[in-house]
């Protein structure tokens, strides 16, 4: 069975790491002091560092592992707006003005990524591919159409619905009952994008110190001391950019972040004819199931990269791979002979209100909680945080107004994840089955 699923050269590391080998930094001593210390070298931390160094602040970025070891080099490369809720949902919760401001922030963040890539000539396979969001039931399709109708034209950015009859023009599958196409979404190679950011930060004088976690942050007389296994560093400002890997060195943030594993497989190369049939428009694909799936062709359009949440509790990539493969075959039965070459996972950061949060707690800046869709928001909000630390006037955005709340029952160990995933799995199966029948 395993032989039929895994290719002979199977590895349990991201496909992206093969295209862009991991950067190596020489082991260097920790400086005694710096204007800014940033914990985390993913998009958030580096985007902040690019702004602080641009404004002449000496900046040190620490990472507990290698540079970009977290989600920023492991993700699916689907660049959306990152705001989870629809305009009608946001309107009900916050009213028209705030809903508009939030949707616009998401759109602005996606545009920011495109502009940033172009301005800095980052070679990361950026493509305006758009996204097809499939409805797993007729009920979900009707709901999609209604949501789009209720969204003001100015906020739709050209999105349009596709009926079940038309859908083969978008995806070579009859799995969905129609869907919606959002042309504003794009695709990148996430590790190449990260490499571009890293090069820029280093060129601007930022110092990156890897395998050096910040283990404690103390403030005395307006100066912070950050402890690490390599010693301590004093600084005027600290930015915590640890997202799904936020740990007990920042307990206030840890109590507000729910780390959830997200898993991806890459297939062997398919024939050109096959990939053109399955993914004819090169869209990014997501769907309406509660247990999220997301997939796409790789930048050379040879392999399928298929991701999602597959297991009740966190597991090994070798165990998640056959489960993801089954979800892929449900949608594309014709790839049953294609083997898996890569399987990997990473921890995304959910928050209780499903919004990212940035702000200051006890004088420490934080920016995190992208709920699984963070390429654009981590880049954009990381930059806002860097500008704020650099004392620049234009850092504000509507997400500053949202309080970062935890729950009394949560101390950083997501004990409720197993029952929640189980519940959503049953709900997805029942709603798919019921609606497929009628
Ligand atoms: C499998 C997967 C698929 C995804 N797909 C998509 C997608 O298609 N589209 C999308 O928009 N988003 C996607 N995401 C989410 C997206 O990748 C993240 O939102 C984004 O990369 C977050 O960036 P970040 O810099 O905040 O965090 P990360 O990139 O996770 O970086 C955090 C870093 O902090 C470091 N760290 C932790 N503790 C410490 C400490 N104490 N001191 C120093 N360093 C520390 C970690 O080692 C890590 O490198 C996906 C995520 C995963 C895991």
What's the Cα-to-Cα distance from 83 to each of 24, 353, 357, 435, rounded to whole Å? 34, 11, 12, 27
Reported as a pLDDT band with limits 50, 70 and 90, residue 1 is low
Return the ligand 1 atom nearest residue 39 CA: 43
Instruction: Check if 210 has its Cβ closer than 6 Å to any atom of ligand 1.
Output: no
Rounded Cα–Cα distance for residues 419 and 312 (Å): 8
Q: Does 421 score more than 80 pLDDT?
A: no
pLDDT digits (tens, 9 = 90+) for 342-373: 999 999 999 999 999 999 999 999 999 999 99
Query: Whose alpha carbon is nearest atom 18 of ligand 1?
Result: 374
Instruction: Check if 294 has its Cβ closer than 6 Å to any atom of ligand 1.
Output: yes
Q: Which residues make beta-bridge pairs with 347?
A: 261
Instruction: Check if 78 has its Cβ closer than 6 Å to any atom of ligand 1.
Output: yes
> What pLDDT shows up at residue 110?
96
What's the Cα-to-Cα distance from 241 to each of 40, 142, 271, 367, 381, rounded to whole Å? 5, 39, 41, 6, 11
Q: Per the structure block, which two tokens stand in for 374? A: 């963070």
Return the ligand 1 atom nearest residue 47 CA: 25
Query: Whose alpha carbon is nearest atom 9 of ligand 1?
Result: 78
In degrees, to the nearest 5, what angle opens at C-alpha 154 toward C-alphas 149 and 159? 55
Q: Does 268 score more than 80 pLDDT?
A: yes
Query: Whose alpha carbon is nearest atom 33 of ligand 1?
Result: 40
Give the percent of the chain with pLDDT over 70.
98
Rg over CA atoms, the chain: 21
- Burial of residue 147, with CB atoms counted within 10 A of its CB: 0-12 exposed, 13-18 middle, 19 or more buried: middle
Instruction: Check if 242 has its Cβ closer than 6 Å to any atom of ligand 1.
Output: yes
Return the ligand 1 atom nearest residue 372 CA: 15
Are 41 and 60 contacting, i.e. CB atoms less than 8 angstroms apart? no
The pLDDT of 174-194, averaged and rounded, is 96
Query: Whose alpha carbon is nearest atom 2 of ligand 1?
Result: 75
């Amino acid at each position: 069975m395993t032989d039929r699923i895994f290719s002979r050269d199977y590895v349990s590391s991201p496909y992206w790491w093969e295209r862009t080998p991991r950067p190596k930094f020489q082991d260097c001593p920790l400086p005694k002091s710096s204007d800014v210390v940033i914990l985390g070298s993913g998009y958030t931390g580096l985007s902040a560092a690019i702004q602080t160094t641009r404004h002449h602040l000496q900046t040190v970025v620490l990472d507990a592992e290698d540079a970009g070891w977290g989600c920023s080099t492991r993700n699916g490369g689907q660049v959306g707006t990152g705001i989870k809720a629809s305009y009608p949902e946001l309107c009900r919760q916050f009213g028209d003005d705030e809903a508009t401001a939030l949707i616009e922030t998401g759109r602005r963040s996606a545009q920011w990524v495109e502009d940033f890539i172009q301005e800095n000539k980052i070679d990361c396979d950026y493509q305006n591919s758009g996204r097809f969001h499939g409805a797993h039931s007729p009920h979900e399709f009707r709901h999609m159409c209604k949501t789009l109708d209720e969204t003001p034209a100015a906020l739709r950015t050209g999105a349009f619905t596709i009926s079940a009859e038309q859908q083969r023009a978008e995806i070579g599958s009859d799995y969905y009952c129609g869907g919606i196409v959002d042309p504003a979404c794009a695709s990148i190679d996430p590790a190449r994008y990260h490499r571009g950011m890293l090069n820029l930060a280093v060129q601007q004088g930022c110092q990156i110190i890897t395998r050096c976690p910040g283990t404690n942050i103390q403030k005395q007389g307006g100066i912070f001391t950050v402890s690490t296994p390599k010693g301590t560093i004093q600084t005027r400002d600290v930015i915590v950019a640890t997202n799904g890997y936020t740990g007990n060195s920042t307990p206030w943030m840890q109590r507000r972040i729910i780390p959830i594993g997200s898993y991806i497989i890459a297939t062997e190369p398919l024939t050109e004819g096959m990939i053109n049939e399955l993914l004819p428009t090169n869209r990014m694909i997501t769907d309406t199931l509660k247990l999220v799936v997301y997939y796409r062709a790789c930048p050379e359009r040879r392999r399928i990269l298929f991701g999602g949440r597959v297991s009740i509790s966190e597991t090994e990539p070798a165990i998640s791979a056959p489960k993801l493969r089954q979800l892929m075959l449900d949608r594309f039965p014709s790839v049953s002979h294609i083997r898996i070459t890569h399987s990997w996972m990473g921890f995304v950061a959910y928050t209780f209100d499903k919004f990212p949060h940035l702000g200051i707690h006890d004088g420490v800046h934080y920016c995190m909680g992208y709920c699984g869709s963070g390429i654009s928001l981590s880049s954009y909000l990381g930059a806002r945080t860097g500008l704020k630390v650099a004392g620049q006037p234009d850092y504000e955005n509507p997400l500053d107004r949202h309080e970062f709340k935890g729950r009394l029952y949560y101390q950083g160990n997501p004990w409720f994840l197993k029952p929640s995933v189980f519940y959503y799995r049953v709900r997805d199966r029942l709603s798919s089955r019921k609606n497929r029948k009628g």
